[in-house]
Amino acid sequence: MSARIFPTAQDAQNAFYEALERSDLEAMMAVWSEDEDIVCVHPAGQRLAGQAQVREAWRQMFAGGPGMRVRITQQVVIAGVMLEVHSVHENITVTGEKRARPPMVATNVYLRTAAGWRMIVHHASPAPGEAAAEPPPPATPKILH
């Protein structure tokens, strides 16, 4: 069991993104619930379920070492007594890349446990492009007679 206790879901989320930026597998897994009922979906990836699959995916991702910065924007929180859902935009900058990456839309779900708040779901996917503007209305009304 992780010795780290997260008093709020926001504390767990902050630790999640800090571990992501540092490529720290143990810090990352300390955020996750130790229960087998956890799910992680990386952008364009398969659904990973359970401790073994989630840990292995993060291990592979972190194998290259640290090199990214994540800035969270547009956070929406749905809070309950035992569960919180955070919908965010992840703005990721990778060291050495000249071009900015498009944001990711992520949903993070946290469960209040005896050991504090823990992540049970992380699902990230590319944000859709800007919606096309609607065409302007016609200059003169159309008459259907």
Range of the domain at 99: 9-76+83-106+119-126
In a domain, 137, yes or no: no
In a domain, 61, yes or no: yes
State the 10-residue block means of pLDDT for the chain, 145 residues long: 85 97 96 96 94 96 87 93 96 85 94 95 86 53 55
In a domain, 143, yes or no: no
| pLDDT score of 1 | 52
In a domain, 144, yes or no: no
| pLDDT score of 3 | 72
- From first CA to last CA, the distance across the chain in angstroms is 76
Please count the structural domains in the chain: 1
Q: Assess contact for 29 and 16: CB atoms under 8 A.
A: no
What CATH number is attached to the domain comprising 37?
A: 3.10.450.50
In a domain, 1, yes or no: no
CA distance 84 to 77: 7
Spell out where 80-131 has E strands: 83-94, 104-113, 116-126
Q: For the CA atoms of the chain, what is the radius of gyration? A: 19
